[in-house]
A and B are shown apart, each in its own frame.
Chain A
């Protein structure tokens, strides 16, 4: 049985019908990792022994008829999600030897279903980047073209799923870090509504924007994982006390009558023409399925990237002040004084992009600049939310490209400003706290995947997934060959 092409849904059936065992599944994926990850570089840590133990436990539960939807399903976990007893590096020298003493809430939830953890995936350092090239340990490649980046920051998770080194993975998304790598690697990823999934145990980047979410082969698999990880958590003061529906329930339902809005600014200058036409072609397909296509406007989009970077970096500068070389994290060997210990530990432990963002955050928050930058960004956050609210008065979901270009070569990542501007299609969703899924809608002339995003109303992940699933039903993905 070729497990690398199986969806989680297929695996569940195969496990329950005893066509495959959890230990066989685990063994096949570990073998794939050993065979291909030298070139793909998607994992920082592979937890082979733990996976074997978890597979045996899961199989016992399956044999006893006590399987839950994810029991015996192998998964990879982004390396900024705390895993008790397993290194969580955030792809930074700063946390190179950090072993969490507790699990993130999402890990508690997944372990309560007896998943099999294959390992921890690479990412941009502290989730700051869109290429996974700022990782201190594994600069992941794109399975569709090893000369290209997988996107980021959850590039390891997306590449592992696309390359058949995990059937699904967890990522985190602060400004597009689940959706953009999903688009670059031809897989499906959803950023849930802000506060839908507990952030407890997620190493903080920008606390008002960060969300954990799944990356998988399709929307159905994402829905299955979302079912497991959502819900109120007393450990996260921002987690929402709202009902969690079965996210698979609306999948397969017709999109007839669903109103889909296309904001014209997302299809303007700077968006690659092949991407534009692939997303518009998808809109035509929705129309053919009976959906209603509406045109709309989002004038604030031109301010979205700077507003996002001002907010995110201001929060990052504050969040990252906890790394002092004393309680945990890298500690310099060359400090004479207390002050020097902190400065040298931080300067040695953080990479260039993290340092740039700390500087930008401090600039935006410092006296004399606060009103002009940080407060203005807060005002823009309100404007962006209002514009989304106005659009959602007329539609159920919004359809946009996920990225302005397909995956590029690592050399393209040397200009920070160019990299920041590449986030134009994803950041407004985080700023407004909305749910959005990215799924593949085509390939360019060179065979590189193109992603489209379906954005929904707050807490309406069910409709977002229904719409992306409807497209996937008529789409045949092309698997990469490693």
Chain B
């Protein structure tokens, strides 16, 4: 696997690697993909219809109104809070400097 592919996959997974890590990871991924390539030896096709026998899967509950978790509990494991989840600003400089964007739907 070449370095560009590792960079692309890292980008998809929201990960970053140092140059040194990138080379090491590319080598490891090459060996791993060699192992995965074994599946190409067999000529079979996935048939989605065959999976329907698992009818009990995704057995959804009825919608019943119930209280949701208290805000304090929802926020308990967040590092930066102000009675809501706080993140760095996500808009360009047009707003005032240091503006805090609140995820209002979770308040």
Contacts and interface: CB of A to CB of B under 8 A. Distances in A.
Given A309-B36, A336-B88, A303 B57 contact: no
Contact of B78 (A237, A326, A382): A326
Given A302-B38, A307-B39, A360 B46 contact: no
A359 B88 contact: no
Interface in B18-34: 25, 28-29, 31-34
A237 B57 contact: yes
B15 A337 contact: no
A241 B28 contact: no
Interface residues of A, number: 66
A380 B36 contact: no
Contacts of A475: none
Interface stretch (A55-63, A133-141, A338-346, A449-457): A338-346
A362 interface: yes
B76 A101 contact: yes
Nearest to B60: A237
Nearest to B73: A101
Nearest to A421: B35
Contacts of B87: 326, 338, 341
Interface in B55-88: 56-61, 69, 73-74, 76-80, 85, 87-88
> Chain B, interface size: which category?
35 or more
B39 A306 contact: yes
Interface stretch (A4-12, A268-276, A368-376): A368-376
Contacts of B33: 360, 363
B23 to A, nearest CB: 14
A241 B56 contact: yes
Interface in A365-424: 366, 372-373, 375-380, 382-383, 415-417, 420-421
B15 A341 contact: no
Given A356-B28, A363-B9, A379 B45 contact: yes
Contact of A359 (B6, B56, B85): B6
B88 A306 contact: no
Given A195-B57, A310-B36, A341-B87, A99 B77 contact: yes
Contacts of B44: 376, 379-380, 382-383
B25 A356 contact: yes
Contacts of B34: 417
Contacts of B90: 337-338
Contacts of A358: 13, 15
Contact of B38 (A99, A306, A335): A306
Which of A307, A356, A417 has the most C-beta atoms of chain B within 10 angstroms of its own C-beta?
A: A417
Interface of B: 5-6, 8-10, 12-17, 25, 28-29, 31-42, 44-47, 50-51, 56-61, 69, 73-74, 76-80, 85, 87-90
Interface of A: 97-99, 101-102, 195, 234, 237-238, 240-242, 300, 302-303, 305-307, 309-310, 317, 321, 324-329, 331, 335-338, 340-344, 346-347, 350, 355-356, 358-364, 366, 372-373, 375-380, 382-383, 415-417, 420-421
The 5 closest A-B pairs by CB, nearest first: A328-B77, A379-B46, A331-B79, A358-B13, A378-B46
20 contacts: A98-B77, A101-B74, A102-B69, A237-B57, A237-B58, A238-B58, A302-B38, A317-B13, A335-B88, A342-B14, A347-B17, A359-B25, A359-B29, A360-B29, A362-B9, A376-B39, A376-B42, A380-B39, A383-B42, A416-B32
